[in-house]
Amino acid sequence: MAQYPSAAGKKWILALLLVVPVTVYLLSVLLSGTVQFRSLEKVGPGPDTAFSFLDQRGRTITQDSLRGKIVVVSFFFTSCPTVCPAMNMNLKQVHDRLMAYKDIQFVSISVDPETDRPEVLMDYAERFGVEKSKSWWFLTGNRDLTYRLANLYYLVAQPDAGAEGGFTHSQTAVLLDWEGNIRSRLEEDTEQIKGVYDLTSPHQADELVDDLRVLAKEYRSVKMGR
């Protein structure tokens, strides 16, 4: 009569099936000395422009505050009646999924600085449940500098009397690496550089999550001297 393995024997067999592939992979890594990760393309250098803004806590944030950080840059205004709520709701999902990554910083710059003072920005952060977050800055500052920065980031921010709320701005975000370079994935179907991420699209928010993880792995490797 055929003998079948006991319950304990089945557990050992299952453990071996799980452990052996991982062991083989780790051995290959040790032998090769490297782990290959998908990389993001460099779109170009980010703007080397000095700025000094205030965040929702009234703290001064400058261009130096972004050094050594992986940064998601977007533009919005708190009284925006159209795209901003959807943008920032999707961006909150990205933020929440990446809370364990301490090198990632979200920067949302108001295109209506006269209205969006720090206390208004704090109320807005509370609306999205991120008032205690250290990794999301809502910024306000000089209007002309804000619009110039948007243009340098290949985004749009400007007054528009014909737009709801009185302003036009991009519903997209750009991704900066720790050296300030604009980075992006290649589109799978066209092999063209994506460039920006549409924050009103849950699918593109998922792509942003994936690409931020890619950059975080790359940065970790850089910091370890590989």
19-65 residue pLDDT tens: 444 444 334 333 333 334 468 999 888 888 899 999 999 999 999 99
Please check the confidence at residue 201 and state whether its pLDDT lies above 60.
yes
Q: Which pLDDT score, from 0 to 100, does residue 162 have?
A: 87
Task: Give the HSE-up count for residue 143: Cα atoms under 13 Å, Cβ half-sphere.
Answer: 10
- CA separation, residue 6 to residues 3, 18, 105 (Å): 9, 19, 52
Please check the confidence at residue 149 and state whether its pLDDT lies above 90.
yes
Q: Which CATH superfamily is domain 41-223 in?
A: Glutaredoxin (3.40.30.10)
Two structure tokens written together for 37: 């990760």
* CA neighbor of 80 nearest in space, from 160, 147, 142: 160
Specify the pTM: 0.81
